[in-house]
């Protein structure tokens, strides 16, 4: 029992230290997130590249894994302490009997000091605001999902522009070849005014088709630039709004955990302030 209490104290110290470091990191991240709104993006890329989009997908997957592992972290701590409580109940604390005890029966053993510690630990874990943090992480992941979809729309619009530009280039070359051959087939005495009606109509139709294609490319290019701007503005606004909230929640949760483990450690020390194991004093 002394060894178990000592190990629990060491565990509480390490957990408190971990959450203290986590709190410091999340405060630093929160400070950086607040400065995003002042970020100068004038020199940033104006369009989403394949590399950029892949990194957004990677971030989406990482935040999803973060959400999952955070939930498991809290659940596993609760399961661990609950298992210790069950072990104490089955092995160290006498099982209640419905039979009447004889007067001569020996007095029941008192509950070991560690039972109060474990019950307090379990109660503290049950009160942790982990659902709020998980919701905040989930919201951040949803924001990234929206940005991914916007980037995909932007890249599709770029593909449309590229395809239309290639089509225009191909048709312009075809038109110039056709026109050159037409001009080469004329006799020296021919004049432009003397071209037959068929050639004039064909020339007008082809020029009109090219003009329509140029207009379509212009409209698609304008639409693409609007999408690019929308993605840039949406990305900056989303991150500058969501990330401070995210790291505030994480820092607050870390502070709560730090306070919980410091209190548990103090309780352990009060229960066995002079415990030594192999000559080493408990923390």
Lowest mean pLDDT among 16-30, 40-54, 73-87, 257-271: 40-54
For the chain, give the percent of residues with pLDDT over 70.
80
Q: Choose between 41 and 248: higher pLDDT.
A: 248
- Reported as a single tens digit per residue, the pLDDT across 175-187 is 898 888 877 766 5
Predicted confidence at residue 5, as pLDDT, reads 63
Of the options 2.30.30, 1.10.3470, 1.10.10, 1.20.1270, the CATH number for the domain spanning 2-38+48-93+112-184+196-275: 1.20.1270
Instruction: Give the span between the Cα atoms of 170 and 68, in whole angstroms.
Output: 52
- Res. 100: pLDDT tops 60: no
Predicted confidence at residue 277, as pLDDT, reads 43
The dihedral sign for the CA sequence 186, 191, 194, 197: positive
Average confidence (pLDDT) over 168-173? 93
Query: Which residue is it, tokens 């229960």?
Result: 271
- Res. 237: pLDDT tops 70: yes
Predicted confidence at residue 210, as pLDDT, reads 93
- Reported as a single tens digit per residue, the pLDDT across 35-94 is 887 877 777 678 899 999 999 999 999 999 999 999 999 999 999 999 988 888 887 655
Residue ranges covered by each domain of the chain: 2-38+48-93+112-184+196-275
Predicted confidence at residue 40, as pLDDT, reads 76
- Reported as a single tens digit per residue, the pLDDT across 186-204 is 654 445 444 566 777 788 8
């Amino acid at each position: 029992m002394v060894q178990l209490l000592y190990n629990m104290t060491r565990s509480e110290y390490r957990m408190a230290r971990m959450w203290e470091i986590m709190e410091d990191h999340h405060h630093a991240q929160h400070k950086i997130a607040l400065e995003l709104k002042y970020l100068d993006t004038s020199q940033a890329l104006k369009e989403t590249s394949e590399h950029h989009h892949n990194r957004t997908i990677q971030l989406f997957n990482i935040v999803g894994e973060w959400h999952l592992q955070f939930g498991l972290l809290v659940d596993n701590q609760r399961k661990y302490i609950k298992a210790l409580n069950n072990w104490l109940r089955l092995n160290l604390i006498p099982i209640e009997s419905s039979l009447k005890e004889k007067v001569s029966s020996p007095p029941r053993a008192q509950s070991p000091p560690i039972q109060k510690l474990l019950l307090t630990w379990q109660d503290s874990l049950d009160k942790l605001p982990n659902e709020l943090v998980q919701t905040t992480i989930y919201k951040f992941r949803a924001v990234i999902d929206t940005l991914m979809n916007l980037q995909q729309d932007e890249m599709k619009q770029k593909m449309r522009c590229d395809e239309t530009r290639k089509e225009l280039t191909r048709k312009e070359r075809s038109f110039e070849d056709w026109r050159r051959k037409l001009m080469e087939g004329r006799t020296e005495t021919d004049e432009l005014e003397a071209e037959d009606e068929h050639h004039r109509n064909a020339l007008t139709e082809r020029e009109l088709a090219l003009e329509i294609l140029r207009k379509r490319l212009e409209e698609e290019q304008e639409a693409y630039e609007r999408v690019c701007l929308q993605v840039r503005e949406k990305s900056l606004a989303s991150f500058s709004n969501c990330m401070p909230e995210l790291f505030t929640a994480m820092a607050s949760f870390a502070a709560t955990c730090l306070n919980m483990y410091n209190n548990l450690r103090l309780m352990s020390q009060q229960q066995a302030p002079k415990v030594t194991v192999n000559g080493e004093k408990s923390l």
